[in-house]
Amino acid sequence: MSEQIKALEAIAEVVAEVQRTQRAKDPEGFLALFHPDALWTTGHGKVLIGFDAIAEFTRAVLPSAEWNGEVTYEVVHVQFLRPDVAAVKVRQLYRNADGEPESEGAPLYVMTRDGEDGPWLLTACQNTGVKAG
């Protein structure tokens, strides 16, 4: 298996873990996906610089987040900027209890890894809401 295919699979696994931890409202599992020097901009424009700021926000917000259905995360495009840096475009879809789409996001995750065998981690992320219509 080529290195790029392995990297794509590993990146997809991280996005799947984002989905799992969001659905489970699991802040510690979610935070385990971040690089220590990460930065994050929420869907509402709040800028979080560094792991401590991301952790404080996540621990305060994620456990009490409310939605009436489920959320899915799908990798729609990966652009390798270097072998150890990837820009990952994601489709985030919230569905209501009836399974109908309720809202959508278009996050961009810049993911990095240390060395050929290091884990892919969320390093610079921007959540963007998609307007209906």
Q: pLDDT per residue over 83-124, tens digit each? A: 999 999 999 998 888 888 888 999 999 999 998 789 999 999
Hey, what are 36's tokens?
Answer: 């220590």
Q: Which residues of 75-86 are buried (b: 16+ CB within 10 A; e: fewer)?
A: beebeeeeeeeb
* 119 residue type, one letter: P
For the stretch 19-75, pLDDT in tens is: 999 999 999 999 999 999 999 999 889 999 999 999 999 999 999 888 777 899 999
| Closest residue by Cα to residue 86 from 44, 49, 119 | 119
Pairing of strands 121-126, 47-49: unpaired
pTM of the model: 0.92
pLDDT confidence tier of residue 133, bands split at 50, 70 and 90: low
Specify whether the CB–CB gap between 125 and 111 falls below 8 A. no
What pLDDT score does 100 carry?
Answer: 86
